[in-house]
Amino acid sequence: MLSAEELHILSFYRASELAGSMLLGKLALHTNHDHLRVPLTEQCLEEAKHAWMLTQTIDKLGAVPTKITQTYQSELGKVYGFPESTVDILCLTRVLEVVALETYQRHVALRGVTPAVKETLEAIIEDEVGHIDWIQAELEKYAGGPDGEKVKHAIAASEAASKTVSEKFYENPLIQRYLELAT
């Protein structure tokens, strides 16, 4: 049986994965960069799979995912602004991946984590590592190009925005209570 805190946190992960998938799907559909079409489509699929894995886990534990409207993606967009270039998109995707990976790693390390949740998060973690690798490699190509300075600035801005969103996440009383209970 899931606690209210655990259900909230899992529902938040699920919503963020789903929002990530939808965002990547839109990018895969609209991008003018031929070489990004394949990896963006694949990542859209994997984020949808993560949302589904979390949904199944919540369902198996006898609960229904809670409706969450404030996801990492929506909050990051508010701080960073609407991504206008491919570099912006890659920067935002990169920090979203990093924050997801760090959050899941922190979660599976908690003593009180439900075994089924731990298993799901560990499977997701494996995929997220691959996501970070290709985006990082892609960004490095841009950072070494003629717009290198602009790219480095965008990377720094996205990291600052991500830090703000992450801090807000951990300020949520439900999240704090969960961390207290499970640590």
The single-letter DSSP state of residue 66 is P
CB 11 within 8 A of CB 66: yes
* Interface stretch with Fe ion, choices 33-41, 50-58, 77-85, 160-168 (CB under 5 A): 50-58
47 binds Fe ion (CB under 5 A): yes
Q: At its nearest, how many Å lie between Fe ion and the CB of residue 55?
A: 13
Q: At its nearest, how many Å lie between Fe ion and the CB of residue 165?
A: 16
Q: At its nearest, how many Å lie between Fe ion and the CB of residue 93?
A: 8
Nearer to Fe ion among residue 3 and residue 41 (C-beta)? 41
Nearer to Fe ion among residue 8 and residue 131 (C-beta)? 131
C-alpha to C-alpha distance for 128 and 153, rounded to whole angstroms: 24
C-alpha to C-alpha distance for 87 and 143, rounded to whole angstroms: 9
According to CB under 5 A, which residues from 80 to 139 bind Fe ion? 97, 128, 131
End-to-end CA distance of the chain: 18
Q: Which residue in the block uniquely carries the two structure tokens 């508010």?
A: 78
Backbone dihedral angles phi then psi of residue 83, each to the nearest 5 degrees = -65, 125
E strand or H helix that includes residue 60: helix 34-60
Binding mask 139-168 for Fe ion (x = CB under 5 A): ------------------------------
What residues make contact with Fe ion under the rule CB under 5 A? 17, 47, 50, 97, 128, 131
